[in-house]
Every structure is written in structure tokens, then in C-alpha cells.
A = this chain, B = another copy of it.
Amino acid sequence: MARVGLTADRLVRAGADLADEVGFDQVTVSALARRFDVKVASLYSHVRSSQDLKTRIALLALEELADRAADALAGRAGKDALTALANVYRDYAREHPGRYAAAQLRLDPATAAASAGVRHARMTRAILRGYDLAEPDQTHAVRLLGSVFHGYVTLELGGGFSHSAPDTQETWSRTLDALDALLRNWPAP
């Protein structure tokens, strides 16, 4: 019986690729087994369950995304940093829609706390150092940025606003302009 050399890592990576190809919720232990030309049961030595597999793919995506973000942010500040971070999310979602969807998987609190999710939160907050915002406005702004990035990327990817006239690249630029303007001129309570 030829051994294929399965490992949790290879499975997760292949699962992520599969997600990008067919969509995250089409990722199934069976499909993954087919991809490795191996019987389904064999995967259960490496991965606890379907849920476990999906969670690991989510964690991988969060890591990759955080790494990209950290790279993009290095040496930038102000609007430059804002644009860089925003583009990391958007580009990642366009290049890796399945992975991006995976990154949205709801994790249980313990797993989330140990994930790269916390790096994301820190980086978003780091961007605001280039603007003049004290707490609690800083937290409000972090949440707003998160909402816009996530909301925009999701809608664009889902075809939410595909048909209308101005192309989405233009809207994206203007959205970043608007956010920058907003952060420089945050309204008093």
C-alpha cells in the first residue's frame, strides 16, 4: 500500500487551495480525500473532524493575512498605511476567496484568542497612530475600519454591487479617501 505522506499541514494547505477553487463551504473531508487519492477514513488520523479541518484552514488564512498585513504596514504611516492595510485585505480576498471566507469562520473564544486575529486587531489600531484619536474614539474608529474593510470586500466579492456604473476600483479609492478624511477630522461627540 503506497503511502502518500499525509500530514495535518498538507491537508490543511490542500484544503485551503480547494476552498479557493470551489468555495469554502464545499470543502469536505471526502473531497480532500479524493484529491489525495486516498480513502476518506485515512484523513481522520490527521484531522479530528470536518469542523477541525475547517478551523485549521481558517487559522491558516488568518496567519497568511496577518503576515501580508505586517509586511505591507512596515515603514508606512498615515493614509499610506491605511491604504496598504486595506489593500491587503481586498487583494487577499480577490486572490483567495475561499481562504478569505475561511477567515470569517466563527471561532470559539479560546481558539480566537490564540489565533492571528489578535495581530489583525493590533495592526488596525497601529494605523490610527498616524491620526489624532484618543480613547474611546480610537476603539470606535478601529471598529469602523474593520466594518468597512470587511463589508466592502464581502459585498464586492459576492457581487453585491457589480452591475452599477462606476467601476469598483474607483469606489475603493474614494472609500479610502473618505476614511482618511474622516479620521483626520473625527467628529466630536
Contact = CB atoms under 8 A, between A and B. Distances in A.
Contacts of A175: 140, 143-144, 147
Identify whether the interface residues of A are mostly helix, strand, loop, or mixed: helix
Contact of A136 (B25, B155, B166, B178): B166
Contacts of A75: none
Given A109-B159, A178-B182, 20 more contacts: A25-B25, A136-B165, A139-B164, A139-B166, A140-B171, A144-B152, A144-B171, A144-B178, A146-B151, A146-B155, A146-B161, A147-B151, A147-B152, A147-B175, A148-B151, A150-B151, A150-B154, A150-B155, A151-B154, A177-B187
Interface of A: 25, 104, 106, 109, 135-137, 139-140, 142-144, 146-152, 154-155, 158-161, 164-166, 168, 170-171, 174-175, 177-178, 180-182, 185-187, 189
